[in-house]
Amino acid sequence: MSKADNMLAILWLLRSRRKMSATQLAEELEVHVRTIYRHIDALCISGVPIVSEVGRDGGYAIPDTFKLEPLFFDAEEQKALLHSATFAREADYPSREALGRAVSKIKRYANPEQRERMERHETHLEVIQPPTDPSLLSVLVEIESSMELQVGLEIDYQTGYDGPLSNRTVDVYGLVHWKSKWYAVGHCHLRGEVRSFRVDRMRNWRCTEERFQRPPHFSARSFLMDSLLAEAGAERQHPLVSLRIQGSAQALDDLCGHWLLSHALVERTEDRAHFQLDELNLYTQIPYYLLSFGGKIRVQAPEELRACMADIATSLLEYYRS
């Protein structure tokens, strides 16, 4: 650790453990005891009232009157950080190692009662995420680096599940984690406009030396949602159609929570929901999603959608019978 980190660590240790000898501090920080003496002297010169007690039970201590509240987290803040670290770790957050070190520091300089409470909190929350490719972390780290340095990122990008690779240079403006997937949003030099890219479809990535300026107030989240909803601030190319569904309350809750339908909800009662969707989405994406509910819901209108779903179900029946 740096000198500043060691000095801060000494403050934390003395506040949490009341009294420690130079030898104990040296063992805790894994430094020479003479280093502890130098840091103690520097802290005293800076105005920290460290008390030195000689003798068999002596050591260094900080009076209770000396306050360090800005450096400490209360119990609720500690719990929030621990739980945030759990979410970050399972989502393959690119700086999860640094976050883990921060959590370790909090535990290290906590008193026994605080440590015991934090260990309990860690067992109270668990996150289940789909398995991810181990190589994903390295590309996320490279994307983070390109954003921090504001330099372009050159990638080979695969469009779709089995599409060909195309070489792209992207000025990445932001990362979005959505539905267990990471998306990089930024200016694509090949297309000449802002695009979103699935990180798990990137291959052979590297930072370039070409610098860029991130647009002020740009929201990667807003751009991604607009593009997924086929809006992007432009006029709709297809007319809106009313979708009316009857079903159980629980099924309708799940239906109204869908990423597309939640933006199209017009009215909801206990056993009915009314949506307005553009015609293209209504007859392409929606029928397959509605069929997954089986008999828990029933499409009341439009009649054309009911016929569409019946055709899909018939085709599936014939496919699996053949």
Residue 90 burial (10 A CB sphere; 0-12, 13-18, 19+): middle
Q: What ranges in 91-154 are assigned the alpha helix state H?
A: 96-108, 112-124, 136-149
User: Over the stretch 13-56, which tens digit does the pLDDT of each residue have?
Assistant: 887 777 889 999 999 898 999 999 999 998 888 778 888 888 77
pLDDT, position 68: 54
Q: 3-class SS at 145?
A: helix
Provide the sign of the torsion angle of the four alpha carbons 129, 132, 135, 140, taken in this order. Answer: negative
When comparing pLDDT for 114 and 312, which is higher?
312
**Predicted pLDDT at 230:** 56
3-state secondary structure of 216: coil
Mean pLDDT on 128-151 = 87
Tokens describing residue 319 = 């496919």
Residue 47 confidence (pLDDT): 77
Domains in the chain with CATH codes: 3-69 (1.10.10.10), 73-124 (no CATH), 136-228 (2.30.30), 240-321 (3.30.70)
Tokens 């409470």, located at residue:
117
SS3 category, 301: strand
Element (H, E) at 210: strand 202-211
List helix spans (H) across the chain.
Answer: 3-17, 22-29, 33-45, 75-90, 96-108, 112-124, 136-149, 220-228, 249-256, 279-284, 286-291, 303-321
Confidence tier at 70 by pLDDT (50, 70, 90) = very low
- Residue 235 pLDDT: 42
Q: How far apart are CA 6 and CA 142, in angstroms?
A: 30
The answer on pLDDT for 133 being more than 80 is no
Residue 64: pLDDT over 80: no
Cα distances (angstroms) measured from residue 235 to each of 230, 263, 266, 278: 10, 16, 19, 11
Quote the pTM value: 0.62
Q: For a pLDDT cut of 70, what percent of the chain falls above it?
A: 93
The DSSP element (H or E) to which 198 belongs, if any, is strand 193-198
Please count the other Cβ atoms lying within 10 Å of the Cβ belonging to residue 76: 8
CA-CA-CA-CA dihedral for 226, 228, 229, 233, to nearest 10: 30
Which residue is it, tokens 């190589």? 135
pLDDT at 271: 94
pLDDT tens digits, 216-227: 999 999 999 888
pLDDT of residue 292: 93
pLDDT band at 72 (very low <50, low <70, confident <90, very high): low
